[in-house]
Amino acid sequence: MDLMERAGTLKGQLVSFALSARFRRQLDTVFDQTFPGGVVVEEAGASLVIDHFILQHRLQDGDSVVDKFVLAHPELSAEERDMLLGWKDVVEGIFEVRGKSGDSISLFNLVDELTYRTRSNLGKAAFRSLKKGMFLIGRVVPLGDDWLVSGNLAAFPASERAALLTQAAELSLRSPELVFRNPEKLATARRMLADQRELFIELYGDELIVVPCDVLTERVNAFWNAVAERAAVTERAKVDFDFPEEMDYAETVAIHFDPDTGLSFYFDFGLLQDLFDNPALIARRRYRETMTSYLRDDTVSPAAIRILAERDTEKAGVVFQKLLKKRGFSWAEHGEALLRKHKARYFETPQLPTNIPVSETMAEHLRNTRQGQRE
């Protein structure tokens, strides 16, 4: 049995394993979260949910269903185990059909701008109705040097190109990790980030500035206008912020150009600067609650606390001694472990640039879309 046939057999067994009573409660929870009210709109949507649950959803112990399947089948060969575990490296995208060859199809992903030679465990029949120029939305997983369709593919005619380019752009902004599967995209983004950081420091004197909240929009727009001017873009920046509730009552905000990700914003940062200068302020409720929020909120980057602590590590140790009620706490000795405990997701996955480089085709489409919206 060749690799393609074995993949088809194992995928069927894997799906049956995932749909067994062992995982029913957890899968039901995922469906309830995905389809509020319990109404599953279409079979393709349900298939994608199940596929994600099998390959990417973390169970309570941190494993995925495919991890459990491999553990439950010690008779699998090393090649089969590697193939199954490799399926966790899922590529999600919006694909343009570029051509067919034998039982494979060439798919160009509008999101990461890479080409995937793809096969299906259904053979040629799976691609019979597809023509060059059509589009597919779906998922593929590694299969040796090729890729394998995982879950159902949704097909669209070539006439939907503009709408799907817009959808691909929106997906790229929501999930930059999908774009940065392409190493050239990541390298370009990091170069852009380095140039922008240099410009931010040139403009404001440091990679972090603390300002009153009411000038935040002005400062950020001034920065993006400087970026546009350097790039010889004539359109002026006007950023509309959608900030969390913290901005409603915060007095200050730190604007930080993180060298790994780009612009970040930390509300009431000035308050915490005062706290780290005078740790006795932790006795006051607002200082204590703000510091607790910075530490326990996993949407706040650990970079914010590092910046505060590294100004004076001895005083930082006193702040956390009082906050955590741990007399022996030392920032130098315990600080990193504390951040890893409360900011686990920042350490589990690489931090990626927030600026997304796009191809000229995508850039032209977005310019035309904006122009059409103005008219």
pTM, two decimals, is: 0.82
Q: Quote the CA–CA distance of 94 and 109 in Å, as a whole number.
A: 6
Mean confidence (pLDDT) of the chain: 89
pLDDT band at 348 (very low <50, low <70, confident <90, very high): confident
Strands 262-267 and 91-101, how do they pair?
Answer: unpaired
Q: Report pLDDT for 5.
A: 85
> With bands split at pLDDT 50, 70 and 90, how would you rate the model's confidence at 4?
confident
* pLDDT over 80 (residue 18): yes
Instruction: Report how far residue 170's alpha carbon sits from residue 166's, in angstroms, rounded to the nearest whole number.
Output: 6
Provide the angle, in degrees to the nearest 10, between the axes of the packed helices 3-18 and 78-86: 60
3-state secondary structure of 124: helix
12, pLDDT greater than 80: yes
Strands, E, within the chain: which ranges? 91-101, 104-109, 115-119, 135-143, 146-149, 154-156, 208-212, 252-258, 262-267
Which has more confidence, 348 or 268?
Answer: 268
Per-residue pLDDT, averaged over 263-283, amounts to: 96
Domains recognised in the chain with CATH numbers: 3-86 (no CATH), 91-158 (2.40.50.140), 183-348 (no CATH)
Digit-coded pLDDT (tens) for 152-196: 888 999 999 999 999 998 898 888 999 999 999 999 999 999 999
CA gap 105, 143 in Å, rounded: 14
Give mean pLDDT, residues 230-250.
64
What does the pLDDT read at residue 125?
A: 86
